[in-house]
Structure 1
Amino acid sequence: MEKHALEITNPEGIYDPRAHGYSHVASVPANSQLVFVAGQGGSRTDGILSDDFRTQVSIVFENIALALKSKNVTMAHIAKLTTLVVDYDDEKHHILIEESTKIWPDQKFPVNTLIPVQRLALNGMLIEIDATAIG
Structure 2
Amino acid sequence: MAIPTPTDIQLHQTSRKLEIAFSDGARFELPYEFLRVYSPSAEVRGHGPGQEVLQVGKRDVLINAAEPVGLYGINFFFSDGHDTGIYSWEYLHDLGVNQAALWDEYLKRMDAAGASRDPGIAQMFEHRPKTK
TM-score w.r.t. structure 2 length? 0.28
Structure 1 length normalisation: TM-score? 0.28
The higher relative CO (CA closer than 8 Å, separation ≥ 6) is in 1
